[in-house]
Structure 1
Amino acid sequence: MSALRVLIVDDEAPARSRLRRLLDGFVEDGRIEAPVEAADGVEALERLAEAERPFDLAFLDVRMPEVDGFDVVERVAAERRPDVVFTTAYDEYALRAFRANATDYLLKPIDAERLEEALARVEDRRGDSEERDERLAALLDTLDEQAAAPPPDGDTGPPIERFTVQGVDRLVVVSAGDVIAAEVSDGITNLYVRQEGREGGAGIGRHLVGFTLDALEARLDPARFMRVHRSALVNLTCVREMVPWFSGRYKIVLTGGHEVTASRSRSRELRDRLSL
């Protein structure tokens, strides 16, 4: 296999420099060409579109101003789209990265061993893209099967007490009682749950899940959970404060300090349900 053409995209110069240093060994081994850099998503799109030879691999930072890593993937022409390895300091983008057909997902600070694994995956993908796509399809099928969709004929059955969500490399069992809230952002459902901290204190964990709010709401106990906005579902037992907000709305403060703003109509219903 010929050396891969690589593009490094990150709006932070130190991050680009660190990744370039980590890649130096692969340049010396002849596995990749000397990387090209882009300081933001806009520059990345220009380089991807104007390169004489299409890039084989792009290391894309997720969070960038104006045009983020996911925007770059969506906007680049299909014939110019390289294999993508997302890089980020945040772990909540894993599911979205897989849905964007990313080859891998690296957390900053990037570890040399994980970088080697990511490059090997790209090389494997280019050697047998069909097999890799089948593995990705299988993963997404697994995620979709987790959707807590109502059974046929409108019979949702008894409320669920426990269910699984997809972690980065494992299935995580979540107790329904530990769910604080669920919110949709950019088409992705974010699940917020109570979890024990390393020193025994309570904290909040977040999971990206493959099911919709409608499906989740249909399977949770309606006496305990309420849809307070078309994009937000909360556990009523976790409500700690209701702060008057604009236009008759309430900002809801939940366990752990998590905040959700209710719509105006749902604010009235919420107030009634909590007998305020």
Structure 2
Amino acid sequence: MLRVLIVDDEPPARQRLRKLLEPLVASGRLTLLEEAADGFEALAKLHQQPFDLLLLDVRMPELDGFEVLERIDPDRRPFVVFTTAYDDYALKAFEAHAIDYLLKPVNQERLQEAISRVEHWQAAALRKAQEERLSQLLDWLESQQRAAGPPTPVPEGGYLQQLSIPYRDRILIVPVERLVSAEIHHGITRLYVLEEDTHARLHQHLVGYTLDQLEARLDPQAFMRVHRSAIVQLRHIRELVPWFSGRYKLLLTGNHEVIASRERSKLLKDRLVL
């Protein structure tokens, strides 16, 4: 019997899955059916109690489905079935790594097939095989992102030396050396900047540009995209702490923490460790 967590930011999608799963609850194949409206709520529920299966939406604001997976301890990670509206190319990637998926709008027959497959995995104790397939998928996604285009040329006028940051009724001019990290939270770009005349206290600023726009203007010798949702300044990394699935947690100036993706963790270690 499976304990299931539905993770999707769209209420109609969660309601549809719950309705399709009700016969399986009635038949005793499912013993628990919970919902989460975003990645952070999903992580909180996974921390509170164990689940056997995640029905996990791929595209969600702030934390997408892949970022949720990266933050789950592999020893406690449930079986995963993606719910996705990806195109055929992405679906082939899922198939190549033997990860099941449900193409939206989900239909009853396809859902039953996915549940049966998970029940087989559970009975055959194939968690280690699934973990390896998930790790391969996450690595594939990172490699595709890095190979998506040619290296960004040096912008006209050179790399940024200072940042213009709206603050209350003024604009702050901040030397780029004080930028510790830039991150996406709740769909908003946030800059973590050292306060003037201090080596420890960070101030958070909200800005209107994207990480892609910022990355194109920052010197790649000084900054690195360590995750799809985070850029850090290398000189502000104080420690690399081994994390789950071959990733590193970065301890930055001001006791700030950022978790690097598995693929970027490898690149980061190559850059920083002799």
Q: Computing the radius of gyration over CA atoms, which structure comes out larger, 1 or 2?
A: 1
**TM-score, normalising length: structure 1:** 0.48
**TM-score, normalising length: structure 2:** 0.48
